[in-house]
Structure 1
Amino acid sequence: MKAKDQALTIYDVAQRAGVSIASVSRVLNGHTTPRPETRERVLQAVAELGFVPDGAARALSSRLKEVVAVVYRQMWLDSADEPVFESEAENLAFVDVMNRGIEVAARRRNFDLLMSSVDVHDHLPVARLHSLAGKSDGILLHDRVLTPAAIVRLADRLPVVTLAGTPTRASVNVVGDNATGMRELVQHLIEVHDARTIAFLSGHADSPDSVMRAKAVQETAAAHGVTALLGPAWEGEYSANGGARVIRNLLDGGGTLPDAIACANDQSALGAVYALRERGYGIPEDVLVTGFDDIPLARHTSPPLTTVRQPVQQMGTAAFDALYSMIDGKKPEQRQLTLPVELVLRGSCGCVPQNAGGRGLS
């Protein structure tokens, strides 16, 4: 029992009832969404504790908006980009699948989502994000929307979870196992297909996922005495247009194709394949091409794309669940949640497409 000079709060009611503060808030504010058994448990806890919401307590319960903001990075095509990819700006396959997982989890908790995008080249969207923070109970950030220092400052206002970002002392990060996935993929290209030069066609230069995957390519290649090609000339920006542009620039400049091109994601791999075939090169006859993510389109290309499958929708669900727990006043048990990935071998690396699943990575 609390000391007499310590006022009861809805946190005490939630603990006694064994429900979330969100459920307590709904009951106290007369919402009809809580289940009857939940409402009964809350009212019983209120009676047992002798809880009487004073002004501060009512303000606390009414401040819960049941809204989470989701912010992702958007890259817009310009007039110089390849017309065949002009609809890509509206087709963010990876982000869309992840947001679906967020939405499913939010619906289970009777939360709404406030969706917003920032330009991929906007490195100072702080004012806009603080505005979103004022309209929501927590915020989910895709990729590297903010620097780690800016995330910590934002987390002073409300709970923050990043997706494929960087964990901080104040936020939680949810990510696929980039290092293991890319390491297994590169080992396969070397040991099974005898690739001696492997290029890494990267994502955004500041993307934590892309940086981690690049490091895995470089370290695995070095361990096998294989040449790894990385750097600005191989930056594909996670887009099909970017992947095609890298290949065209290489060939137009008289460059030589490596034995294999490991792309940072499936969309840039699809662009690379498009540009290679446009110039008369065969995949995998002339060069091996692989992706990362296993978006639905990857298995339907010609040839089907060898890739690393991430549980993308589950990542979105896990991110919302972690954020909801923080909104509910619980301290995260861990700041980094790493989900397992799976190597999927198909025709673009010269393997016979697998009928099901892939090879699990531990």
Structure 2
Amino acid sequence: MEYLTVRETAEKWSLSDRMVQQFCIDGRIPGAQKFGKSWAIPMEAEKPQDPRVSRRQKQQAAGPLDITCLMPLMNTPFQPGKCLAVVETMAAGPQRDISLAEYHYFSGHPEEAAKGAEPYLTSTDMGARLSACLIYAYANLPLGHIQRARFALNELKAALGSQRGSPEMEAASAFVAAAGAVLLHLPLPEGLPEIQGFFPLLPLGLRSFAMYIYAHYRYIQGDYAASVGTVEGVLAMGAGQYPIPAIYLHLVAVMDYMGLRQTEQARAHLLAAWELARPDDLIEGLGEHHGLLGGMLEAVIKPEWPEDFKRIINITYSFSAGWRKVHNPDTGHDVADNLTTTEFAVSMLAARDWSNPEIAEHLHISLATVKRHLSSAMMKLDVSQRHDLRKFMLQ
């Protein structure tokens, strides 16, 4: 008889490691055997029926929302360079644990982030549970654990439909569900309220990130002017005191201004994001957004901070690989795959009708290099015309 580990079984059944272990402890997997501290599970074992209670029962079983545990680091103002110090001042408990998981994620350490979030996936503290699911979903994408990411994303959707109670509880559920969908360019979950309806109920830091989500959604729709107008307004109202939301707001502004072909404004916002991110090494967002930044990382960060650029690009490759495995099958859109980051940047600009000389000047590369990267990208994507790049690059 062949056996699987707990982790392999969790991947197969789209469950968390913790739930599979509990199935083993409860004797719900026939033939499962424990060797030392590890479980061996028969390969042909069937997934037990989901023991989780109905949505109404789950709502009754869940504790109240502790807003201090809802993405607490995102909701904390701090001076750049003081991020980890702020986390260390928090009292031991869910708020500190979730904050540390956030720090690990936003600083590009997804494995530590996933480990920190996992114990709270079934917490009765809804703030901690919702935060854990969001962190766990995103952290598992660059790790290649797609089924775990899907498990957490599905938990966010389920929470959206089950959390009927206080307006604050519904706002918290809507916030994480929107973040789980919009940032991955997935269809909005059924029943998601308009963001203008729930964001005023969030604390200031999360409200700023909610407006980033809204701006990103408008960007996806191609309404760059409305998106960047939202961003500029939120930043003008003091969102910069919350570095994590501010980084993401500046990044979507870069995306918008590149869409509007206003490169100087895009450059200014990228540098603003970098000034907030670099002191605490909060570089995950730059890696996540690389393909949408129109070559700005190559134009601005690479020449001055080449080692940081390399680390950002490593994040881009790992995150994008996981992202495509969720996005492409769920949307039916074949977003560009197997391109280098430079090929992607060149192709994105070409899809936006930039000429080869304009691309060369923007990326500080030769015209021949632009042609070489563009030719390679078009060959990989099996297209023969520049306008055919749109269906791959502008989804």
Give the TM-score of the pair, scaled to structure 2: 0.24
Give the TM-score of the pair, scaled to structure 1: 0.26
Return the structure number with greater strand share: 1
Return the structure number with greater helix share: 2
Could you say which structure has the larger radius of gyration? 1
Pick 1 or 2: higher relative contact order, CA cutoff 8 A, min separation 6: 1
